[in-house]
Amino acid sequence: MEPATLLLFAAAALTSLFMAWVIGAGSSGATPFAPAVGANAISTMKAAFLVGILGFAGAVTQGGSVSEAVGTGLVKGVTLPVSAVIVVLLIGAGLMAIGIYTGYPIATAFTVTGSVIGVGFALGGDPAWGKYAEIGAVWVLTPFVGGGIAYGIASVLPRPDVPEDASVPILAGLVGAVVANLELAVLSPVGGTLAVAGISAIPVDGTAATAAVSLGLGVVAAAVVRWDIRRDQAGGLRRFLLSLGALVAFSAGASQVGLAVGPLFPLLEELPMISPVAVLLGGGLGILVGSWTSAPRMIKSISQEYASLGPRRSIATLVPSFLIAQSAVLLGVPVSFNEIIVSAIVGSGLAVAGGAGVSPRKLGFTVAAWVGSFALAFGLGYGSMVLLGL
């Protein structure tokens, strides 16, 4: 490979690392623990520290799915050259940096997806309509599904006829069953998930055994949370809330790392000595450093400016956030954690005093930023490649 090409690859890798840092400082680093910080369950600095570690773990163990989709699934008939990868990452990181500076959460998924599609079209690529339909469905349904689930949970938790030592353990059991079926790279030698790995202990094969292990882990999670809440209600709620925040932070790393390193994946065909795992490690490291150094600003923005959250409302926010995030990872769809969390916050807020704790002005600016960031990224990506071609 020529030295000039190697230099371009190095520039693309550095740009990807910068993008990962921006993601850690913004959406991935800020949103997972923001409800817990708003509920005074954890301090801002501790949240930033934990989310960095958990985001790194999620990036390495689950980051391949979304990375492949971003790298090869958004445009057909063309492979992005190194120069195009650099353009995509600079646009995404630049718009994200503006969001961090202004305090308004620009959705990374929208900017990177828009720039990849714009650049691909400028290079003569064809639309991947099936993938667009899948992505569009997730993006459009997220506010309704996430907000609806959050509304339902927030409506039930404070009711006197539904004791929390029953309702919260049920939620814990559901979350535990989902965790049992998360596909993790470290478990690939034993089937990929905890549920499949546990089948060896049950003399039944197939779906029935997987369901039995998933149910068993869910029951264990529910029993532990029930015991904790009965022993110390306030402390038990806080510890369950922090556990949910940890799962969402892990899922954020799994999803968001693909937005940083996904464009590099097609380039690996020319560099067989570099494995996708090494690229994911680099992206995870960038997210970790970004979370540790700059996430507190965005955590404060989301936790304090969108709504005043208590522990119950925060639980109602994080349960659907975790479920939607893992669904997106399973489908290989780039998803905005800002959209997920904010939608759930609004849904839970509507169930509490008719949404009195939600800031309509802040929410309006955020929605406008989401829509505008995709259109702007698409236009910048297309226009930049046209100019480079000239």
pLDDT at 204: 61
Residue 235 within any structural domain of the chain: no
**Which 8-state DSSP code applies to residue 309?**
-
Are the CB atoms for 261 and 209 separated by under 8 Å? Answer: no
Judged against a pLDDT cut of 90, whether residue 211 lies above it is answered with no
Strands 126-127 and 75-76: antiparallel
Lowest-pLDDT range of 28-42, 44-58, 313-327: 28-42
- Per the structure block, which two tokens stand in for 234? 């306030």
Q: Tell me the residue range of the domain where 123 lies.
A: 3-158+181-202+247-389
How many Cβ atoms sit within 10 Å of the Cβ of residue 5?
13
Integer-rounded Cα Rg, in Å, for the chain is: 21
pLDDT at 53: 93
- Per the structure block, which two tokens stand in for 175? 């979350």
pLDDT digits (tens, 9 = 90+) for 144-176: 999 999 999 998 887 777 888 889 999 999 999
pLDDT digits (tens, 9 = 90+) for 350-371: 887 665 556 677 777 777 777 8
Judged against a pLDDT cut of 50, whether residue 11 lies above it is answered with yes
Q: Could you give the CA distance from residue 159 to residue 48 in angstroms, rounded to a whole number?
A: 33
Residue 239 within any structural domain of the chain: no
Residue 168 within any structural domain of the chain: no
CA atoms in the 13 A half-sphere facing the CB of 86: 14
pLDDT digits (tens, 9 = 90+) for 74-111: 999 898 888 888 899 889 878 877 776 766 667 788 99
Judged against a pLDDT cut of 60, whether residue 306 lies above it is answered with no
pLDDT band for position 390 (cuts 50, 70, 90):
low
Residue 216 within any structural domain of the chain: no
Query: In total, how many domains does the chain have?
Result: 1
Highest mean pLDDT among 13-17, 218-222, 237-241, 353-357: 218-222
Residue 165 within any structural domain of the chain: no
Strand partners, 76: 126
What are the residues whose beta carbons fall under 8 Å from the beta carbon of 193, sequence distance 6 or more?
A: 180, 181, 182, 183, 184, 187
pLDDT band for position 307 (cuts 50, 70, 90):
very low
Highest mean pLDDT among 169-178, 182-191, 301-310: 169-178
pLDDT at 378: 94
pLDDT at 325: 93
pLDDT digits (tens, 9 = 90+) for 267-278: 887 777 788 889
Residue 335 within any structural domain of the chain: yes
Residue 63 within any structural domain of the chain: yes
Closest of 332, 385, 344, 372 to residue 110, by C-alpha: 372
Judged against a pLDDT cut of 80, whether residue 305 lies above it is answered with no
pLDDT digits (tens, 9 = 90+) for 237-249: 989 999 998 999 9
Judged against a pLDDT cut of 60, whether residue 17 lies above it is answered with yes
pLDDT at 355: 58
Residue 36 within any structural domain of the chain: yes
Task: Classify the phi-psi angles of 127: left when phi > 0, otherwise alpha if psi is within -120 to 50, otherwise beta.
Answer: beta
pLDDT at 223: 96
